[in-house]
């Protein structure tokens, strides 16, 4: 029987009160990777650190895998290292040897981990040569010496770069020479030396030297290697010390720039009516020439709910899997288009390429021409192995989507709850109605054909961008349309009687009602959030990164009753309403006074004057002398209330947001006002931090773990205090818009103070462009000119290329990992472009519920490439 090895694990980690660390790994002794069965660790203080240790005897092996986990007082894992640690054990170690594993906690949230995501490995760093796969050079233990192995990981090293260890002992050069590390497994680098016992303790640092001789040293203090207190005893001293130091971090962390643009805004000589997926190739070429490393898009899923321009809103998906026919390139459907069809394509290109997108005409024209091509040539495509593979891989959503399109035409509506017996689909019903014997089978096949070519065109554009070292960033909408395939097929996953929105904020003082059903998270959790995981897996075919729209929705959502049109009468979900007992403790017992509109004859006279009696007769009922309530037929969205009942039994209540602004509140006595203000502020700002953090930790890790895409969160608006710590712990990138600072009492953000884990942008699709914003308010323009830009003189009335260059430079110089600019802001650097009226650049106005998303770039991508 082989003698065992003694492994001493050591890792520094500050735990919360009641938490502790375990080490787990393969085999029963290490708990078979189950933290609840792992080896417990004990802790002690070393300077400013809390160090956890455990000693385990294991059979002699060539290699050993393990990881650390944090468990709570019930021994349930609350945090686990994501990568497994691999220990290569030298064959030359003597029997009963002791190995010290001195590790740094591998935090998934460390900024360096961002460089391991698909945006970098599959695009920005694609094809970067490395020496990965080299073997660590074996050395034999010498008498009275200890082998010390150094390990770190680095994603930014190029072929020919050297990662070295320099230290205070002769074996590490004492600054004159260094130990050169080997890249044993991308991105892990390692090297080892034999150190005499008398040379301990010693200090060391990592250093990266590029091919041209430029050096970057690790940030922070030098690290120290010591032997344990009993280490001078030959029998107890370790034979091997492994220093796993985590990521190599220097002061020069990777930073890059991006361009944000909706696909429909792009213009090329070949596009028809709107930008197409194929146009992204030319945009990627422009990015490659100018050094831009990322293209950010709006959602590209099908939104064909109403079959009119309302569907131009890209965040109301009719399917979270199907791509939008708006972006179809007709030229890409066939290499040999019949002459009459080619004439139709050329005519469409001439007629539809106006200064704005004609959404309805573009979609209908493309589908009409695509149908003509399909009827003559499509059967060949459907017989190819490529199509068959696409169909089999996607049939679980493709067949229901195609059938939904047929039923939408048959019933004349996407309100699937009005489809009679077809409103509750089953797998058998879908199979029966999509079989080849059905009369409408050719319509199904046409939908398959269109989706197949959309898939090919977007995938081809994504691959082209990656070859140019440009990443594609998609957008994950917070909701889906109530009239969608997803709510039809999976009604249990949605709360259809409610709508998603946002409370009053920078964008709209009445709040926003987006019309999406809220999610039934409890039901979604039963299968491990399979719908989300499939959705993200589908997205990852095309995108290397994505933006989570309204990331606050994964902490809590603003849920609005289905009868409301604005966001004023919403409440948070999940949340803890105030019970009747809570109100009683504050001396509030007359809840009717606070939950019904407060309407008196005096108020009516003040508002309507001599028309007050007419208003009463048409809309109100007098329930006691001088006091009124709405008639049932007009009692829909009340505004003049203070509390909102949670249920019909009126046992719990939500405070109405901004209740202090209501006339009902103003008419109360001072005591009630004081108590209601406290209840309001407790509900909106303090009561739910723990609940919302727990909710986010249940859902966001599932999204992040579903793929290797780089994840960014849109964290604008009313941000609870619990959000930043959660985003930081999960390693999620936030968003900073200069005119919407996250700091209180600041009018403008300072890009120089942004955190590395952020995207810096001067504007976004939900704001006016920088040029339009500059022209909106002269006084604000002056404050921005002097205070934010630090310029002198008189600010010009229009945003000149020089001004825009200053704004762009500010953002490029910020510490943020990415500076992403709307395409309009990039184009505003050109004196030629700024002749376009600034107000024409607007993509979306959040205050307008039915905004027409039809902005088209005033210039072609060919022109941009020529000027680059």
pTM here is: 0.92
Structural domain ending residue among the three candidates 668, 685, 702: 685
* Same-domain check for residues 297 and 338: yes
The first and second tokens of residue 570, run together, are 């919403």
Q: Cα–Cα–Cα angle for 817, 714, 758, nearest 5°?
A: 15
Domain containing residue 24: CATH number: 2.60.40.10
Contact assessment for residue 184 and residue 130, using Cβ atoms and an 8 Å cutoff: no
Backbone dihedral angles phi then psi of residue 314, each to the nearest 5 degrees: -80, -5
* Same-domain check for residues 229 and 314: no
Specify the pLDDT at position 503: 86
* Same-domain check for residues 486 and 405: yes
Specify the pLDDT at position 9: 97
Q: Cα–Cα–Cα angle for 166, 167, 172, nearest 5°?
A: 70
Specify the pLDDT at position 719: 86
Residue 510 is given by DSSP the state T
Between the CA of residue 737 and those of 64, 750, 761, 768, 826, what are the distances in Å? Answer: 47, 10, 5, 12, 16
* Same-domain check for residues 697 and 675: no
The first and second tokens of residue 217, run together, are 């040293």
What is the C-alpha separation between 764 and 844, in angstroms, rounded?
A: 9
* Same-domain check for residues 338 and 419: yes
Contact assessment for residue 273 and residue 366, using Cβ atoms and an 8 Å cutoff: yes
The first and second tokens of residue 682, run together, are 């407790």
What is the C-alpha separation between 469 and 414, in angstroms, rounded?
A: 41
Residue 376 is given by DSSP the state I
Q: pLDDT means per 10 residues in the chain (868 residues)?
A: 82 95 94 95 94 92 90 91 86 84 91 94 87 77 91 88 92 81 90 94 94 88 84 70 93 94 96 97 98 98 98 97 98 90 95 92 98 94 97 98 98 98 97 97 98 98 98 97 98 96 78 92 97 98 97 95 86 95 91 86 90 90 89 71 86 92 87 93 94 96 95 89 94 95 90 97 94 96 96 95 97 98 95 89 87 92 90
If one counts the domains in the chain, the total is 4
Spell out where 533-684 has E strands.
545-548, 557-561, 571-573, 578-579, 599-600, 620-624, 627-630, 643-645, 652-655
Tell me the DSSP string of 446-486: HHHHHHHHHHHHHHHHHHHHHHTT-EEEEEE-S---TTSHH
* Same-domain check for residues 555 and 665: no
Specify the pLDDT at position 231: 45
Full residue range of the structural domain in which residue 855 is found: 255-561+688-868
Q: In 10 A of CB 734, how many CB atoms?
A: 22
* Same-domain check for residues 462 and 379: yes
* Same-domain check for residues 319 and 422: yes
What is the C-alpha separation between 550 and 130, in angstroms, rounded?
A: 38
* Same-domain check for residues 99 and 181: no
Structural domain ending residue among the three candidates 55, 75, 109: 109
The first and second tokens of residue 711, run together, are 């994840």
What is the C-alpha separation between 724 and 702, in angstroms, rounded?
A: 18
Between the CA of residue 511 and those of 53, 589, 691, 734, 842, what are the distances in Å? Answer: 52, 29, 23, 22, 20
Contact assessment for residue 572 and residue 511, using Cβ atoms and an 8 Å cutoff: no
**DSSP helix/strand/coil, 569:** coil
Specify the pLDDT at position 293: 98
Specify the pLDDT at position 160: 83
CA-based nearest residue to 595, from 630, 634, 643? 643
CB burial of residue 648 (10 Å; 0-12, 13-18, 19+) = exposed
Specify the pLDDT at position 548: 97
* Same-domain check for residues 670 and 699: no
Domain containing residue 483: CATH number: 3.20.20.80
**DSSP helix/strand/coil, 132:** coil
CA pseudo-torsion sign 827, 833, 834, 837: negative
CA-based nearest residue to 124, from 77, 158, 89? 158
What is the C-alpha separation between 173 and 165, in angstroms, rounded?
A: 9
Specify the pLDDT at position 354: 81
Q: Give buried/exposed letters for 580-595 (b at 16+ CB in 10 A, else e).
A: eeebeeeebeebebbb
Specify the pLDDT at position 1: 42
Structural domain ending residue among the three candidates 638, 669, 685: 685
For tokens 């406290």, name the residue.
678
**DSSP helix/strand/coil, 68:** strand
* Same-domain check for residues 246 and 264: no
Contact assessment for residue 327 and residue 274, using Cβ atoms and an 8 Å cutoff: yes
* Same-domain check for residues 679 and 710: no
Specify the pLDDT at position 391: 98
């Amino acid at each position: 029987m082989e003698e065992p090895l003694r492994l001493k694990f050591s890792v520094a980690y500050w735990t919360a009160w009641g938490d502790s660390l375990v080490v787990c790994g393969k085999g029963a002794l290490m708990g078979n990777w189950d933290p609840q069965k792992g080896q417990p660790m004990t802790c002690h203080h070393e300077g400013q650190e809390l160090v956890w240790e455990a000693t385990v005897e294991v059979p002699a092996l060539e290699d050993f895998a393990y990881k650390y986990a944090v468990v709570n007082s019930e021994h349930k894992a609350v945090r686990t290292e994501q990568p497994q640690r691999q220990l290569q054990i030298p064959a030359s170690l003597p029997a009963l040897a002791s190995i010290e594993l001195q590790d740094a906690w591998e935090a998934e949230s460390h900024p360096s981990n961002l460089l391991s995501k698909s945006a970098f490995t599959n695009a920005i760093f694609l094809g970067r040569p490395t020496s990965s796969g080299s073997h660590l050079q074996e050395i034999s233990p010498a008498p009275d010496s200890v082998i010390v192995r150094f390990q770190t990981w680095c994603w930014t090293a190029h072929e020919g770069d050297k990662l070295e260890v320099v230290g205070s002992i002769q074996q590490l050069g004492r600054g004159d020479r260094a130990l050169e590390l080997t890249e044993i497994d991308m991105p892990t680098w390692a090297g080892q030396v034999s150190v005499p016992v008398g040379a301990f303790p010693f200090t060391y640092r990592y250093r990266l030297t590029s091919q041209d001789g430029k050096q970057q040293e690790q940030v922070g203090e030098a690290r120290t290697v010591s032997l344990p207190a009993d280490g001078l005893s030959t029998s107890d001293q370790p034979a091997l010390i492994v220093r796993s130091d985590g990521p190599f971090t220097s002061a020069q962390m990777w930073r890059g720039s991006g361009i944000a643009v909706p696909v429909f805004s792009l213009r090329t000589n070949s596009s028809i009516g709107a930008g197409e997926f194929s146009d992204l190739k030319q945009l990627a070429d422009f990015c490659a020439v100018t050094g831009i490393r990322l293209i950010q898009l709006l959602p590209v899923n099908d939104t064909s709910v109403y079959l009119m321009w309302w569907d131009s809103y890209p965040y109301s998906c009719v399917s979270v899997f199907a791509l939008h026919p708006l972006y179809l390139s007709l030229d890409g459907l066939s290499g040999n288009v019949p002459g009459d069809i080619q004439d139709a394509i050329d005519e469409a290109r001439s007629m539809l390429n106006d200064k704005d997108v004609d959404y309805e005409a573009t979609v209908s024209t493309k589908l009409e021409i695509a149908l003509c091509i399909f009827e003559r040539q499509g059967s060949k495509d459907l017989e190819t192995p490529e199509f068959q593979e696409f169909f089999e891989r996607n049939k679980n959503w493709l067949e229901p989507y195609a059938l939904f399109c047929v039923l939408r035409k048959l019933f004349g509506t996407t309100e699937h709850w009005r489809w009679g017996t077809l409103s509750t689909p089953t797998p058998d019903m879908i199979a029966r109605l999509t079989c080849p014997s059905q009369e409408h089978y050719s319509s199904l096949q046409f939908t398959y054909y269109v989706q197949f070519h959309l898939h090919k065109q977007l995938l081809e554009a994504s691959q082209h961008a990656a070859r140019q070292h440009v990443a594609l960033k998609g957008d994950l909408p917070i909701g889906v349309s109530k009239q969608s395939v997803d709510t039809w097929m999976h009604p249990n996953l949605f709360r259809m009687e409610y709508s998603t929105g946002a409370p009053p904020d920078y964008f709209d003082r009445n709040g926003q009602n987006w019309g999406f059903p809220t999610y039934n998270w409890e039901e979604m959790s039963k299968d491990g959030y399979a719908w989300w995981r499939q959705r993200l897996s589908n997205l990852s075919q095309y995108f290397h990164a994505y933006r989570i729209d309204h990331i606050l929705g994964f902490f809590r959502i603003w849920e609005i009753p289905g009868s409301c049109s604005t966001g004023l009468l919403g409440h948070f979900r999940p949340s803890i309403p105030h019970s009747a007992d809570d109100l009683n403790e504050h001396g509030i017992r007359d809840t009717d006074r606070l939950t019904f509109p407060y309407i008196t004859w005096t108020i009516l006279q003040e508002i309507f004057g001599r028309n007050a009696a007419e208003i009463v007769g048409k809309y109100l009922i007098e329930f006691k002398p001088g006091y009124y309530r709405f008639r049932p037929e007009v009692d829909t969205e009340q505004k003049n209330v203070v509390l909102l009942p949670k249920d019909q039994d009126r046992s719990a209540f939500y405070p109405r947001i901004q209740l202090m602004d209501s006339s009902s509140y103003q008419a109360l006595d001072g005591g009630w006002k004081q108590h209601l203000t406290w209840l309001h502020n407790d509900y909106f700002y303090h009561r739910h931090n723990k609940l919302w953090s727990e909710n986010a930790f249940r859902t966001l890790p599932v999204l992040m773990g579903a793929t290797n895409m780089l994840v960014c969160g849109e964290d604008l608006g009313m941000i609870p205090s619990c959000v930043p710590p959660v985003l930081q712990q999960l390693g999620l990138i936030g968003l900073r818009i200069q005119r919407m600072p996250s700091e209180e009492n600041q009018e403008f953000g300072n890009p120089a103070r942004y955190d590395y884990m952020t995207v810096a942008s001067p504007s976004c699709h939900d704001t006016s462009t920088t040029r339009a914003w500059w022209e909106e308010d002269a006084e604000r323009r002056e404050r921005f000119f002097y205070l934010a830009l630090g310029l002198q003189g008189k600010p010009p009335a229009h945003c000149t290329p020089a001004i825009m260059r200053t704004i762009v430079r500010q953002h490029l110089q910020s510490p943020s990992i990415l500076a992403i600019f709307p395409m309009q802001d990039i184009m505003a650097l050109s004196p030629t472009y700024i002749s376009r009226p600034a107000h024409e650049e607007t993509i979306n106005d959040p205050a307008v519920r039915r905004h027409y998303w039809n902005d088209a770039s005033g210039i072609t991508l060919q022109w941009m490439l020529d000027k680059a």
